[in-house]
Amino acid sequence: MGPDDDYAHSFGYFGSGAALMAPQGVVYNEKYLSIGDETLIGPNVCLTAGIGPGQPMLASPTVTIGRKCIIGRGSHIIGHWSIVLGDEIQTGPYVYITDQNHGYEDPDSAVGWQQPNEAAVSIGSGSWLGADVVILPGTQLGRNTVVAAGAVVRGTFPDHVVLGGVPAKILRHYDREHGWVTGAPND
C-alpha cells in the first residue's frame, strides 16, 4: 500500500514514497500513526496505537516514524503514549518497540490485570536495530546508535554508541580523538 491508496488517508500522516508491504500485519488506530516520506514498512509488521481499534489516544500522533526508515519484517511497534523514531532508522526483522509494559507491583494480583507502566520512547536518527531487538518503555537512544541482535534495551544512551546484551549496555562508543573505543564513555 502506498500514499495514493484510499487506506493511506486514514493515517495521521502517510508520506510521499512510503509503503506498507504485503502481507500487512495488524494495523489499527491509523489516525494516531505517522509514517514519514520514503519509509518502508516490511511485511507482517504490526503497527498500532492503543490496545484495540477505536481507542482514543492522549497524543496525536502516538507513533511517529521518520523519513527514509526501513522497518524489518515481522516487527511490532506498539504505542500507547509516545514512540518517536527519527529519520533514516533501519531495523532487522522481528524488532519489538513499545512504550508500555505490564505492572507487577501487587504480588497478589495477576500481572496482566495490573495498571500498566508507560514511558515515552525515542530512537535517534541514523540508528540501526538488529534482529530480535526489544526496546522497552522509557528508552531514549541517541543518533547513529547500533543495537546488536537480541538486545533488550531500557534507559538513556548517548549518540554514537554500540549496545548489546540483556540488559543492553554500551559495548563501544565513538571518541573524536581515538575513533571507536571499547566500553562506555568515561570508563
- 62 Ramachandran zone, left/alpha/beta (phi>0; psi -120 to 50): alpha
Q: Which residues of the chain have pLDDT under 70?
A: 187
Q: Grid coordinates 518497540 are at which residue?
A: 97
Residue 13 CA to its chain's centroid (Å): 17
pLDDT, position 147: 98
Domain containing 54: what range?
6-182
DSSP 168: T
User: For residue 125, what is the domain's CATH number?
Assistant: 2.160.10.10
Give the torsion sign (CA, 53, 55, 56, 58). Answer: negative
The answer to the question of residue 19 being in a domain is yes
The answer to the question of residue 163 being in a domain is yes
The answer to the question of residue 152 being in a domain is yes
Beta strand 46-49 with 27-28 is parallel
Q: Grid coordinates 518517536 are at which residue?
A: 84
The answer to the question of residue 79 being in a domain is yes
User: Looking at the 3D structure of the chain, how many domains does it have?
Assistant: 1
The answer to the question of residue 1 being in a domain is no
3-state secondary structure of 116: coil
Peptide bond into 167 cis (omega under 30): yes
pLDDT, position 30: 97
Which pTM was predicted? 0.95
The residues annotated with a catalytic role in the active site are 102
The answer to the question of residue 187 being in a domain is no
The answer to the question of residue 148 being in a domain is yes
pLDDT, position 62: 98
Q: Using CA atoms in the order 33, 74, 26, 17, what is the torsion angle rounded to 10 degrees?
A: 40
The answer to the question of residue 94 being in a domain is yes
